[in-house]
Structure 1
């Protein structure tokens, strides 16, 4: 048996850290959405108990360092499955970019094997299992616009966003999320997102109110190490984006436009000096 799961990239419309738990984990309050830039994960069951991972990019690990591999092994052991699977990942999402590519691949494996192994798990149950792989996996199990709280495990879908386009830009640096989080002090955060206002903007389908309330508390930390992030955000707004922001722990930034023609112009302008630029939209619920 075989199936193909779409694994969309995620974007943080907001990212806030409220406090740090005694175990060192953060209490998050984030609004996340998924975009039409995606990996594709093909899963084929096999009689032998091995989990095999193959990727379209030679530099990616295909062993236990790969989150998709971890997801498959976790389900196998948890439910005492005797068979294995071949997982082939067609990569399109940039790596170490703040777009959740590895987490989305792992979530796709959880969803796919849930079907192929007839486990009957709900999204909430898969999300709970996925949290032990990476904090972005629970959201990626849903891959729809949601309020994400707790340690990343509490997912509240919000419905579709108002219509807008995004120009997504990945500079040629890779960011280590653990290093950025190690430098995060919740007591020193000065620029937080206005989450309630952002939620109201989504509910009222008001893109202007939504963008005015956005922020990412990790931006100053990552930008201190990689100043090109601030430069790219300035370029996006100079070219006409209504809002520019970093996603996740970076380094990817994105600009929001309500008009497609303006987004296309910004895409063309940014493509002049950045190699990885994407013109995308948030996914609607019917797209997955």
Structure 2
């Protein structure tokens, strides 16, 4: 196999709690990850000339060893002493620096793709073991679906799928530094009532109860205490979604992306129109959960 076309899917957080800041500077988290049908496209092509070459459709993204897709390819090239070269053509559609794991998902797609192209014979578990060397979200992006993430995000437990629904995703025209958010969270000083109801969300998923899940999602992202305070547009987006029929609206990851959950697709479309008219968001997507076992591609 000399070439491969892949899709790298985005994620949202159905709940995100930070338990504590560790002595090594990382944070112990407990969060529920959900893949959604927003995706980047990647084309992998074997080359005779040695080396890994990356091209993207966004001028401001690195096209060298600082890009996670390069790091993913290089990891396997070095470990398995792969000869020849590789070109990676990356078309970005997932919002960048938006709390949706776009870069991590791109890296996961490259790991998956190279495993097949070069017949490396790695299992999903073995790919995930290598993925954590690239970033904490990359193992999840190989697994996909609905999962509980613990530790620094690398300890993953598959969960019952998210109930069918419509998800409106809005990315305002700002970028948020994950490092800034975590540094200003002061995780060890959080009060008990500031922690999201992760157990309630888990129970609702088990019962496949969308409304109960939505209720548990209120204040379901502890990082909003930092990001929404610094960027008022996040609260405005949440309010606009809920005023236009969302069962709940929540920030994903460290932000600034906000998503709303809708049972009725027409309501979601009306909310989309309202946000477009308000100009609160630069990018808007109406999507659904990705819950089946299809792989990249």
Decide: shared fold, TM above 0.5: yes
Match of 2:8 in 1: 7
Number of equivalenced pairs = 288
Alpha-carbon displacement from aligned partner over 1:171-225 (angstroms, at most 9, x marks no partner): 0001111121122222233422212221111111100111122201111111222
- Is 1:68 the counterpart of 2:69 in the alignment? yes
- Is 1:205 the counterpart of 2:208 in the alignment? yes
- Paired with 1:235 and 1:188, the residues of 2 have a C-alpha distance of 31
- Paired with 1:47 and 1:180, the residues of 2 have a C-alpha distance of 44
Match of 2:270 in 1: 265
Write out aligned runs for 1:114-193 (5 A).
114-190=115-191, 191-193=194-196
Q: What's the secondary structure of 1:54's corresponding residue?
A: strand
- Paired with 1:255 and 1:280, the residues of 2 have a C-alpha distance of 10
- Is 1:276 the counterpart of 2:251 in the alignment? no
Match of 1:56 in 2: 57
Task: Report how far residue 79 of structure 1 moved.
Answer: 2.3
Pick which of 30-39 and 175-184 moved more: 175-184
Q: TM-score, normalised by structure 2?
A: 0.93
Pick which of 243-252 and 121-130 moved more: 121-130
- Is 1:217 the counterpart of 2:228 in the alignment? no
- Paired with 1:224 and 1:195, the residues of 2 have a C-alpha distance of 22
- Paired with 1:20 and 1:79, the residues of 2 have a C-alpha distance of 36
- Paired with 1:257 and 1:24, the residues of 2 have a C-alpha distance of 37
What stretches of structure 2 of length at least 5 have no aligned partner? Answer: none
Is the contact between residue 12 and residue 100 of structure 2 (CA under 8 Å) also seen in structure 1? yes
Match of 1:239 in 2: 244
- Paired with 2:265 and 2:154, the residues of 1 have a C-alpha distance of 34
Q: Which runs of 4+ in 1 moved over 3 A?
A: none
Cα RMSD of the aligned pairs, angstroms, is: 1.4
Write out aligned runs for 1:246-257 (5 A).
246-257=251-262
- Paired with 1:148 and 1:251, the residues of 2 have a C-alpha distance of 20
Task: Report how far residue 87 of structure 1 moved.
Answer: 0.7
Pick which of 39-48 and 102-111 moved more: 39-48
Q: TM-score, normalised by structure 1?
A: 0.95
Alpha-carbon displacement from aligned partner over 1:48-73 (angstroms, at most 9, x marks no partner): 33011111222211111111111111
Is the contact between residue 184 and residue 226 of structure 2 (CA under 8 Å) also seen in structure 1? yes
What stretches of structure 1 of length at least 5 have no aligned partner? Answer: none
Is the contact between residue 240 and residue 274 of structure 2 (CA under 8 Å) also seen in structure 1? no
Match of 2:48 in 1: 47
